[in-house]
Amino acid sequence: MPWWYRDTPSLRGLRMGGPYLSSNRGHTLRQVFALTQGYMGETSHLTEAELSDLIAFLHTL
């Protein structure tokens, strides 16, 4: 089933770990960003520090 048929999942509890995505191909949040680049938000322009901040934020949910 293509990703656009899926309900957007809750991001609560992400710190419990992967694998993420319905394909289970996201073993880390950085892999999720790389695999979904372009259709699920845009993170390619973020600096290393900003990516770390984003992951730290997602871990608080």
Q: How far apart are the first and last CA of the chain?
A: 27
Asked whether 7 and 51 are in contact (CB, 8 A), the reply is no
> In whole angstroms, how close is the CB of 49 to ligand HEM at the nearest point?
16
Q: Where are the beta strands (DSSP E) in 1-61?
A: none
Binders of ligand HEM among residues 30 to 59 (CB under 6 A) are 32, 40-41, 43
User: Position 58: which residue type?
Assistant: L
- The residue from 15, 17, 22, 50 that contacts ligand HEM (CB under 6 A) is 22
Interface contacts to ligand HEM, rule CB under 6 A: 3, 6, 8-9, 11, 14, 20-23, 29, 32, 40-41, 43
